[in-house]
Chain A
Amino acid sequence: MATPATSPPSHTVSTISINPLLLNTVNVSPLPLLALLYSKPKNARVKRALDEREPKLVENEKTCIFVSGNKTSERIRDAMKDMNSMKRPYAINFSKKNDIHPFDDASSLEFFSGKNDASLFVTGLHSKKRPHDLVLTRMFDGRVLDQIELGIDSYRSMAEVDTPKASVGTRPLMVFHSDLFDTHPTFTHLKSYLLDFYNGHHETAIPLASVEHVISVTAGPVEGSLEEGAALPKVHVRVYTIKLLASGSKVPRVQLTEMGPSMDLTIRRVAEADSETMKAAMKRPRISQKDLDSGLGKKRKNIETDDMGDKVGRIHVGKQDLSKLQSRKMKSLKIGRKERKAAEADADADAAGNDSGMDED
């Protein structure tokens, strides 16, 4: 039942004066604002590039940026050059100096990481306090995950050793010697970084013939205690090329030749990852067997690379209309003027017949 139209409107809410303390509750509706700010990529190329940077179930190989600080030494430059050549093609070299001190302020690294979609950093520095300083930084989600600072005590570059080198882009074997890599957190951290650096991207299969070199990482023997503040044993990094010799069995005999670089490293400062971030970084996706079998994130349909290294795609062009195929041109096969006229007249008559049919409907 309706109330009489003359009755005064009932006020449910009266006006309020604006109180500064109430302003937090002022209704600033986010939705129209968001709709305005949400911008789509302008074209397909940009969209692909942006999609490539989104988090993926099966991740791409980590890219490393090599950046030097305000002051570097020749040893540091050589070391970065050699590390770069072994990391290629997933390496970006910054040729200019940058005012970077990763342990004090890693914001520039985070910026570089965002710009280049890179998550590994090697920063070369040299100072009186910390000569020949190499800072290894790892990122997660665009932020610094952990860092380790190494001093290069002695260095022998690849160029100094006159031996054959491994080809670019081949995956090294990595061997770690010493129990410290299992027991000491700093050494485990270093092992994790180095593995991540060269072999972090898990391949499901490798051709056995592609094994060309091995990176050997050895921690020196423990002298005295490993307590806080005590000097940690040195770390020796050597790289050898592998020659496989027949041994009479399935497993070949190995011969090693030094390839360079070889470094003796001292561990300096370490910034461990905070446990919560590390936990998030260690999360593994649950991938169903069906997705794995269909080659999730790896298999590209109809795109192949041929022997020349060219990308070849296969596309479906539909069934060819053979009736319109141009066969050999001969006078006897030619349609004459008369025949053409007759054919056109036939077509017209057909069309007229159809039209009249429609009119009747």
Chain B
Amino acid sequence: MDVSQQLADYAAANAAEVLERPTPVELDTGLLAAYDTTPVDADEYKAALEPHLLALTLTSTQALLAGLFSLPTKSSEHGPVAQLADPTFVLPREKPLPKPKPLTKWERFANAKGISHVKKDKKVWDDERQEWVARWGRDGKNKDAEDQWLHEVKNNGSDPTIDPRATAKAERKARTEKNAKQHARNLAEAAASPLSTLDRKPTAGTASQGEKANARSIRKAELDRGMLVSKVSTASLGRFDKSIEGEPRVKGIKRKFETNLGDHASEKASAMDVLNRLGTAERKRAPKKGGSGVEGGVNTRKAVRYEERAAQLANRRDGKSGGGRGGRGGKSGRGGRK
């Protein structure tokens, strides 16, 4: 490499000539980017690629820096800090927008009823101990009833042999248990709610724990169902198949019985429903109640309809009109079965 080449390189490296652009360079300071939308000059590009690229870069970088240095700044220990605007070129997100946390059953109820939630403090004031104590947990206030040294037995006929301490503890344990159950139910319901905004199966990577559990359970239910179907799909409907250990049991629909000592009206209604279907009720009821058209042993409504029908048939025979309305549909049982 001779001296002239080195000089040329040096000149190129120290070039500061900014190219003329017909359209100004677009700035996107939010992404620290500049877009020069002028088409690249083919002649310059072919003649000397590297110097041309350098010149282009110099031009757009100068414009971008001018943009950055004109932004509002705040001073810091690292010198002035430019406050960047929002990007104009929108880039895709990495993950979908976070879904709002599913409401618990209580929250749904409270919303529906317009109950405003007041968050309980973790500590409560204990008047006897004259200090703030935990509402629950170690030395919690919820254990006061079982920890007191003297238990009053009320003279109201209650069994004096019952240990009030054990009763209080059992009650507290039951409350905890109930809450744990409700919590589990809320989690399960949240997990069972719609999976994704795109309605796709969640992946191993980004799906949340609940979604994964839900997808697994759905898949498991599918497999169970498939297995049950395949079992009864033999010629003998699975009668001679060996059962595998731990295979899911076929759960049919359970029989339900009504209580013996129940509501009289509903029992009567269901009995009448059965009789209606048999048609006996109609026969039994008709003469007594009189029906809607019975007068002196002649069903006038039926007679009128019969006459109408005869007239219609006569008309049709004459070819005057296409036909009247059809008869009414069959009688349907009222108050159908559940």
A166–B255 alpha-carbon span in the complex (Å): 78
Q: Known: A55-B96, A140-B93. Contact between A35 and B185, CB under 8 A? A: yes
8 Å CB interface, B50-65 against A: 53-54, 56-58, 60-62, 64-65
Q: Report chain B residues within 8 Å CB of A256.
A: 13, 54, 57-58, 61
Judging by beta carbons under 8 Å apart, are A209 and B65 in contact?
A: no
Q: Is A238 an interface residue (CB 8 A)?
A: yes
Q: Known: A30-B217, A55-B95, A140-B95. Contact between A176 and B42, CB under 8 A? A: no
Q: Report chain A residues within 8 Å CB of B83.
A: 204-205
Residues 136-153 of chain A, each 1 if its beta carbon lies under 8 Å from chain B, else 0: 001111110100000000
Q: Which residue of B lies closest to A175 (CB)?
A: B60
Judging by beta carbons under 8 Å apart, are B84 and A209 in contact?
A: no
Judging by beta carbons under 8 Å apart, are B91 and A208 in contact?
A: no
Question: How many positions in chain A have a CB within 8 Å of any CB in the partner chain?
Answer: 114
Q: Is A220 an interface residue (CB 8 A)?
A: yes
8 Å CB interface, A175-209 against B: 175-182, 191-192, 195-196, 199-200, 202-209
Q: Which residue of B lies closest to A8 (CB)?
A: B260
Q: Is B114 an interface residue (CB 8 A)?
A: no
Judging by beta carbons under 8 Å apart, are B252 and A16 in contact?
A: yes
Q: Is A309 an interface residue (CB 8 A)?
A: no
Judging by beta carbons under 8 Å apart, are B39 and A3 in contact?
A: no
8 Å CB interface, B180-210 against A: 184-185, 187-189, 191-192, 196-198, 200, 202-210
Interface residues on B, range: 35 or more
Q: Report chain B residues within 8 Å CB of A273.
A: 92
Partner of B40, one of A178, A196, A203: A178
- Minimum C-beta distance from A292 to chain B (A): 11
Q: Known: A10-B270, A220-B40. Contact between A2 and B264, CB under 8 A? A: yes
A26–B30 alpha-carbon span in the complex (Å): 57
A305–B261 alpha-carbon span in the complex (Å): 75
Q: Report chain A residues within 8 Å CB of B74.
A: 205
Between-chain CB contacts (< 8 Å), 11 pairs: A34-B213, A141-B200, A177-B36, A177-B60, A179-B38, A206-B81, A211-B65, A218-B40, A238-B57, A242-B61, A282-B93
Pairs A-B, 8 closest by C-beta atoms: A114-B205, A281-B92, A142-B205, A142-B203, A221-B42, A34-B188, A216-B57, A175-B60
